[in-house]
Amino acid sequence: MKNSNRSGATAGDPVEKGAPLSQKAVKVVANVCFGSFVLAVLVFTIVAITYQPPDPWLDSPKALIAKSLDAVLPNATFRTDDSVIRTGEDLAVDNSSSDIATTPPPSTGISTSGCDSDSPLNCSDPRALDAIRRFNARIFGRSIVFLSYDTPVTGSNPGECDAAWRFRNRHEKSWRRYRDYRRFHLASAENCSYEVDSAGKFRSGVNAAPKSSPRRWSPSSRAPPAQIPDADINDTIPELGSDFQRRRYIYYTRGGDYCKGMNQYLWSFLCALGEAQYLNRTFVMDLNICLAATYNPSGRDDEGKDFRYYFDFEHLKESISLAEETKFLRDWRRWERASSKITLRKVPTYKVTPMQLKEDRSTIIWRQFDGPEPENYWYRVCEGRSAKFIQRPWQAIWKSKRLMNIVSEIAGKMDWDYDAVHVVRGDKVMNKELWPNLDADTSPEALVKKLTKVIGKQKNLYIATNEPFYNYFDKLRSHYKVHLLDDYKEMWGNTSEWYNETMALHNGLPVEFDGYMRVAVDTEVLYRAKNRVETFNNLTMDCKDGINTC
């Protein structure tokens, strides 16, 4: 018994000793798992707080600019480029619900009993509009979105109708509308319906054009045109008036960004707008722009340009609370004399962050940029920790509708049916160290050899280029219907809508169609092509920014 007891005790010792070890092992495993979970949550939280998604402006795959802020030069200015930044109307989310009349409309329910196929064509007959809608949807439906139609009117000859409509381009995601009016020849078809036999070119239906045509400008006139031809444009400057005291403002004085390239101007300007939105303040805006020398044939900076020449001020003032600088300073002086409630805080350096100004209740926050470059660049306000709080309002910037009207008219002249090639030459072909093959790869002979392999012959071919010699592309003319920007000079000539409208903004003085406007229009027409051939990666293996930068 003693032996059995002793043996039983001996047998039980390992069991009693093993139980605590198992529990300890379970506890260790549990602690490790819990610790790993806590660590994972901590890492995820840090990443979520610090991660900044790429700016759609800089990372847009089709944007013809540098892809990141690494493109900033050592002196903190932006590299000049041969093209322009894609703006808000190119980046907005498409809304398919706005696509009206892009497919043949449903049956109108018109009774066909007793119709006379030999009777004269009545253009106001709904069947005529139905035929025109079906024709447009079939021919142009892949390129443009038809928004509304006017009732067709009689053309110049029997069987002709002139029809007008509003549309937007499928490549432009904004709600902005454009207009066209064309002449159609209609014939009777089955079931007393009509079919379009032929259609005229862009804006050929002059009888359907707007009746309130603008008064043309003449040198003897002392006042600018009273009417703006495009009724959709309203870029008048908002008045503050008695509302001045009830607002709070942020005012940026002119800094080192003035007369820099347009890319840097926009980068800084959007930083300022972003801070205004963050602080919930009205931004005081200087409409004067200095166009950098890189856009001017004279090689000199050109001051006194109007923001509205290049960008859509109407859309901007609907997106952001704005006050125009001249009127703001006038009202500030007036209200300061009349009231002691106007308070001011001067901020002499960008190092005072927007977060530090968040609780400031001053009527006016006045940011001053008096230091040397690059300390006096507006965009320095949005650097460092501020970048986590300030969001640039990309969608607030659209290109000028006056320029986009020219783009639509050029594309319309080609019936929205064209291919395009972007031929970059200019100063780059002179620099053999950075672009050793570019000159040979974009020679007339090389262009013919490469383009005939990818673009069908006798098609409309639009060439967007900075090549200054108009006849440089003559060898392509035997293969294609070649179109260049200079083929459409009448669209900004002294009888054009653009000419009259910009004169009205410039106190009756003519406005030059400058280098930046040319590049903006050239680039936007290029974007709207059915097929597009780019210089880099398509025509040449040289890198866009020079050797070894691909």
Q: What are the domain boundaries of the chain?
A: 96-107+119-208, 241-396, 401-533
Query: What CA–CA distances, in Å, run from 256 to 66, 290, 437?
Result: 21, 11, 37
Q: What is the pLDDT of residue 87?
A: 78
Q: How far apart are CA 96 and CA 205, in angstroms?
A: 29
Of 7-11, 454-458, 531-535, the least confident: 7-11
Query: What CA–CA distances, in Å, run from 190 to 5, 116, 187, 332?
Result: 113, 12, 10, 71
Residue appearing with tokens 């006017």: 150
CATH of domain 241-396: 3.40.50
Q: What is the pLDDT of residue 402?
A: 95
Inter-residue contact 334 to 343 (CB < 8 Å): no
Of 41-50, 143-152, 188-197, 453-462, the least confident: 41-50
- The reported pTM is 0.76
Of 6-15, 318-327, 343-352, the least confident: 6-15
Q: How far apart are CA 109 and CA 101, in angstroms?
A: 17
Inter-residue contact 196 to 162 (CB < 8 Å): no
Long-range CB contact pairs, 466-473, < 8 A, 24+: 466/82, 466/424, 466/425, 466/426, 466/519, 467/423, 467/425, 467/426, 468/426, 472/444, 473/423, 473/444, 473/447
Inter-residue contact 403 to 443 (CB < 8 Å): no
Q: What is the pLDDT of residue 83?
A: 54
Residue 9 pLDDT greater than 70, yes or no: no
Q: What is the pLDDT of residue 97?
A: 37
Percentages of the chain per state (helix, strand, coil), in multiples of 5: 40, 15, 45
Residue 7 pLDDT greater than 60, yes or no: no
Name which of 152, 147, 24, 159 is nearest 95 in CA terms: 147
Of 186-195, 359-368, 457-466, the least confident: 186-195
Residue 213 pLDDT greater than 70, yes or no: no
Average pLDDT over residues 239-267: 92
User: DSSP label at 351?
Assistant: T
| 3 state SS of 256 | coil
Average pLDDT over residues 526-547: 94
